[in-house]
């Protein structure tokens, strides 16, 4: 699956799910908001197996994004979950910090992951480059491309005029031509679960938030409505941003809650009350405002508003999506290597 297809599906409610496999990570990137270390915990494998086991041909996400922490610390689990997902028709993508790239050869377990998933993405940014040299990441990319693996880079910089972004994206194009699509974003949120497929940038008052379209399996197994790091980490997880628990709930129930919640419909169509994510997380402190949102977002009118908002974002396409949620001047790099006529 091409990166373009993943981003194109990002505004569609329940078209995908973001799944954190572990909080643990062997790297020490300065911008890691989860502050991951090798002492951190893995997500309960039994809960993940159970949750993936509820995907079916009739009710499944199209895409499952496997993130962390560093998901390739659990390569056998990635392969296993990718197999279960594929049997139901769900494609998988994995995002790694590339800790293994410093070795002369790609380790066998990583190659098995690359063969099992449908998309393989590596993080590159100034912080990662202090841990894993760019040349090593490029060597891995070249070998994966030779094997026919669909790859991409997730590049993060400080903003549109960050010279690092201009330099690294030009370097990728020199090395690979248009064969490696890139998701370029700004280091506003962090943590790979938050950053994958764009992060919440809803700092404007009343800006509709497409980040409330894909459920997220958090480090503690909770399923949240969005990828805001405070919410994923559980530091602020109000009821209106909870969808369930991977150890107890199935995909059909989680998707139905995401679709039918009047408050989530309002977040996706009109935006949370003033203050973007901060206002959204605090919404529950104002029961009157929350009740008003419930009234507006419930029933056929709420469903229609939600449907129309999604339709417009899908029609605008992935480049338009990344002009809003990524780093605008680099949004078109999501299309690199995409063949016209392919999805």
With beta carbons less than 8 A apart as the criterion, state whether 208 and 9 touch: no
Tell which one of 65, 182, 184, 200 touches ligand SF4 (CB under 6 A).
200
Among positive and negative, which fits the CA dihedral 35, 36, 39, 42?
positive
| Burial classification of residue 48, based on how many CB atoms lie within 10 Å of its CB (0-12 exposed, 13-18 middle, 19 or more buried) | buried
**In the complex, least distance from residue 325 CB atom to ligand SF4, rounded to whole angstroms:** 10
Tell which one of 277, 290, 305, 336 touches ligand SF4 (CB under 6 A).
277
Tell which one of 272, 297, 302, 318 touches ligand SF4 (CB under 6 A).
272
**In the complex, least distance from residue 283 CB atom to ligand SF4, rounded to whole angstroms:** 8
Q: What are phi and psi of 210, to 5 degrees?
A: -80, -10
- Concatenating the DSSP letter of every residue in 165-180 gives HHHHHHHHHHHHTTSS
Comparing CB distances to ligand SF4, the nearer of 228 and 310 is 228
With beta carbons less than 8 A apart as the criterion, state whether 22 and 41 touch: yes
- For the chain, helix, strand, coil in percent to 5 are 50, 15, 40
**Binding-site string for ligand SF4 from residue 201 to residue 230, where x marks contact by CB under 6 A and - marks none:** -x------x-xx-------------x-x--
Comparing CB distances to ligand SF4, the nearer of 169 and 261 is 261
Which span sits near ligand SF4 by CB under 6 A: 20-28, 60-68, 69-77, 270-278? 270-278
The three-class DSSP label of residue 71 is helix
**In the complex, least distance from residue 339 CB atom to ligand SF4, rounded to whole angstroms:** 32
Give the angle subtended at the CA of 271 by the CAs of 265 and 272, to the nearest 5°. Answer: 95
Q: Rounded CA gap, 214 and 265, in Å?
A: 13
Comparing CB distances to ligand SF4, the nearer of 78 and 212 is 212
Residue with tokens 């008052």: 205
Which span sits near ligand SF4 by CB under 6 A: 16-24, 80-88, 176-184, 276-284? 276-284
**In the complex, least distance from residue 305 CB atom to ligand SF4, rounded to whole angstroms:** 16
Q: Rounded CA gap, 224 and 17, in Å?
A: 10
Binding-site residue total for ligand SF4 (CB under 6 A)? 14
Comparing CB distances to ligand SF4, the nearer of 183 and 277 is 277
Tell which one of 60, 119, 192, 281 touches ligand SF4 (CB under 6 A).
281
**In the complex, least distance from residue 137 CB atom to ligand SF4, rounded to whole angstroms:** 29
Which residues, 6+ apart, have CB-to-CB distance to 288 below 8 Å? none
With beta carbons less than 8 A apart as the criterion, state whether 124 and 137 touch: yes
**In the complex, least distance from residue 229 CB atom to ligand SF4, rounded to whole angstroms:** 9
**Residue 191 binding ligand SF4, by CB under 6 A:** no
The footprint of ligand SF4 (CB under 6 A) covers 200, 202, 209, 211-212, 226, 228, 231, 267, 272, 276-277, 280-281
């Amino acid at each position: 699956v091409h990166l373009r297809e993943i981003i194109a599906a990002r505004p569609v409610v329940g078209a995908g799910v973001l799944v954190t496999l572990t909080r643990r990570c062997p790297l020490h990137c300065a911008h890691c908001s989860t502050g991951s270390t090798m002492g951190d915990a893995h997500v309960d494998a039994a809960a993940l197996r159970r949750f993936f086991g509820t995907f079916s041909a009739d009710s499944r996400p199209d895409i499952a994004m496997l993130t962390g922490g560093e998901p390739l610390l659990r390569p056998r689990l990635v392969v296993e979950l990718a197999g279960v997902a594929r049997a139901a028709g769900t494609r998988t993508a994995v995002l790694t910090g590339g800790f293994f790239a410093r070795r002369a050869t790609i380790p066998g377990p990583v190659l098995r992951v690359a063969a099992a998933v449908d998309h393989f993405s590596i993080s590159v940014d100034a912080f990662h480059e202090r841990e894993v040299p760019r040349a090593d990441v490029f060597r891995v990319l070249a070998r994966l491309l030779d094997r026919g693996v669909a790859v991409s880079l997730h590049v993060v910089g400080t903003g549109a005029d960050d010279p690092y972004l201009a330099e690294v994206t030009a370097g990728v194009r020199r090395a690979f031509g248009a064969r490696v699509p890139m998701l370029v974003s700004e280091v506003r949120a962090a943590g790979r679960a938050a950053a994958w497929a764009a992060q919440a940038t809803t700092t404007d008052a009343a800006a509709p938030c497409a980040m409330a379209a894909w459920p997220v399996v958090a480090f503690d197994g909770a399923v949240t409505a969005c990828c805001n790091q405070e919410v994923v980490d559980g530091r602020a997880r109000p009821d209106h941003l909870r969808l369930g628990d991977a150890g107890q709930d199935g995909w059909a129930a989680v998707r139905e809650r995401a679709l039918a919640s009047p408050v989530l419909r309002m977040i996706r169509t009109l935006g949370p009350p003033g203050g973007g994510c901060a206002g959204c997380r605090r919404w529950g402190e104002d029961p009157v405002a929350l009740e008003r949102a419930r009234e507006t977002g419930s029933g056929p009118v709420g469903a229609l508003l939600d449907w129309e908002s999604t339709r417009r974002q899908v029609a605008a396409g992935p480049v338009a999506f990344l002009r809003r949620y990524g780093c605008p001047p680099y949004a078109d790099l999501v299309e690199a290597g995409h063949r016209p006529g392919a999805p």
